[in-house]
Amino acid sequence: MKILVLNSGSSSIKFKLFDMKDESVLCSGLIEQIGENDGHLELEFGQKTVKKEVVIKDHAHGLKLLQELLIEHNVVKNFDELAGVGHRVVHGGEYFSSAILIDNKVIKKIEELSPLAPLHNPVNLLGIKAIDREYPSLKQVAVFDTAFHQSLPPKAYVYALPYEYYKNDHVRRYGFHGTSHHYVAKEAAKKLKKDENKTNLITIHLGNGASITAIKDGKSIDTSMGLTPLEGLVMGTRCGDMDPAIVFYLSKRFKLSIDELDKILNKKSGLKGICGYNDMREIEQSAKNGDELARLALEIFCYRVKKYIGAYCVAIGKVDAIVFTGGIGENSSIVREKICCGLEDSIFVKFDKEKNRQDKDIISKDDSKIKIFVIKTNEEFEIARQTYNIIG
């Protein structure tokens, strides 16, 4: 049973094809520069990479070229052979609390939710509509970044603003990276040999975007991202938590428009705003070389995560494990060490520096009451699994 997973952007589509019989990856790749003169298609299967430079008119054309390439290289005979297509959709609002089989009603609802994710939902729909038009018999499933966090209680998702903004305009915490948090939570439950629904975790996704989630009995009960992915942890270029009054202050002081401030907080802040780099590898290197601002950025980044761990421990009660994932969480022993050192004084975590430096998948001491895991996220597989569960 083959499931194609698509992550559609405005001018690109990332794809991965799974065989759910043995959960193997048949191929993966990227369709880029859609609508430009320098279209590019890249397909990886086995040890082989195939590249094709071709003008790609639109998303439907890109998928047609992908089908041709998959047939040419004997990965599939045609798209009709697929059991279904799973799509990453960023915002499901309060309407979608789990993945769903796509029909016209679902498409309309995703369109209606676009004001909450104007940069994402409309472009996610491009892939859905292209498949719908070109391969109408294929079943499609939408898997939402927000869905896992729909279990948050009102005390965690209602902002202390005039209540009508929530009631009438849906201004609330939604949370993102849900597919990643959900995936690593399931993997952590397996490691703990516990029922997923009886597992209490703090999952920390640290990539270019970063978020942390409190999971009680397998359900997300709080998460750091909010109405948008700007809130919470310090990120590559996003500020995360700050005093909202800073917006008024900067606006008045520098006569900045809302759009200019939006750009500053989303694209010019975070690690980049503090030290000029948003890539953690460069920051670590610069910090080693004595760059004081890189050191400060690293400290602020890790301190923010540490504060949230403390808060979520209290919110959850008894925590079974802390999980690191995402490009930084999976690879940066320096970041993990800065976050975990000292936790032993306040919560029941015994961090093992040596295991951490050796990049082990369990980086707590054997007798630590709260375990610390490093788990590679696999959002595409989680989308394939949820798609399979719906259409299977």
Q: Which residues are catalytic?
A: 145
Q: Does 328 sit near ligand ADP (CB under 6 A)?
A: yes
The only residue of 280, 305, 316, 363 in contact with ligand ADP, by rule CB under 6 A: 280
> Is 213 buried (19+), middle (13-18) or exposed (0-12) by CB count in 10 A?
buried
Q: Does 12 sit near ligand ADP (CB under 6 A)?
A: no
Cβ atoms of residues 264 and 238 within 8 Å: no
User: Any idea what DSSP says for residue 43?
Assistant: E
Sites for ligand ADP among residues 195-224 (CB under 6 A): 207-209
Sites for ligand ADP among residues 284-323 (CB under 6 A): 284
Residue at token pair 């990227």:
30
Q: Does 326 sit near ligand ADP (CB under 6 A)?
A: yes
# chain residues binding ligand ADP, by CB under 6 A: 13
User: How many helices and strands in the chain, by DSSP H and E?
Assistant: 15, 13
The only residue of 51, 167, 190, 281 in contact with ligand ADP, by rule CB under 6 A: 281
Q: Does 234 sit near ligand ADP (CB under 6 A)?
A: no
Nearer CB in complex with ligand ADP: 322/335:
335
For helices 333-340 and 292-316, angle between their N-to-C axes, nearest 10 degrees: 50
Cβ atoms of residues 20 and 384 within 8 Å: yes
Nearer CB in complex with ligand ADP: 178/327:
327
Nearer CB in complex with ligand ADP: 29/236:
236
User: What is the nearest approach in angstroms of ligand ADP to the Cβ of residue 19?
Assistant: 24
212 Rama sector, left if φ>0, alpha if ψ -120 to 50, beta otherwise: beta
Q: Does 226 sit near ligand ADP (CB under 6 A)?
A: no
User: What is the nearest approach in angstroms of ligand ADP to the Cβ of residue 248?
Assistant: 30
User: What is the nearest approach in angstroms of ligand ADP to the Cβ of residue 184?
Assistant: 12
User: What is the nearest approach in angstroms of ligand ADP to the Cβ of residue 302?
Assistant: 12
| Region from 140-148, 195-203, 278-286, 384-392 binding ligand ADP, contact rule CB under 6 A | 278-286
Q: DSSP string of 286-309?
A: HHHTT-HHHHHHHHHHHHHHHHHH
User: What is the nearest approach in angstroms of ligand ADP to the Cβ of residue 305?
Assistant: 14
The only residue of 327, 370, 383, 388 in contact with ligand ADP, by rule CB under 6 A: 327
User: What is the nearest approach in angstroms of ligand ADP to the Cβ of residue 31?
Assistant: 18
Name every residue whose Cβ is closer than 8 Å to that of residue 105 and which is 6 or more positions away in sequence.
none
The only residue of 42, 94, 134, 279 in contact with ligand ADP, by rule CB under 6 A: 279
Q: Which two tokens stand for residue 122?
A: 């409309």
Q: Does 332 sit near ligand ADP (CB under 6 A)?
A: yes
Nearer CB in complex with ligand ADP: 92/207:
207
Dist CA 200 CA 188 (whole Å): 10
Q: Does 28 sit near ligand ADP (CB under 6 A)?
A: no
Name every residue whose Cβ is closer than 8 Å to that of residue 271 and which is 6 or more positions away in sequence.
234, 235, 236, 237, 277, 278, 280, 283, 297, 301
Strand 24-32 relative to strand 40-45, pairing: antiparallel
User: What is the nearest approach in angstroms of ligand ADP to the Cβ of residue 281?
Assistant: 4
For helices 379-391 and 178-192, angle between their N-to-C axes, nearest 10 degrees: 90
Cβ atoms of residues 253 and 247 within 8 Å: no
The only residue of 33, 251, 266, 331 in contact with ligand ADP, by rule CB under 6 A: 331
Binding site for ligand ADP (CB under 6 A): 207-209, 236, 279-281, 284, 326-328, 331-332
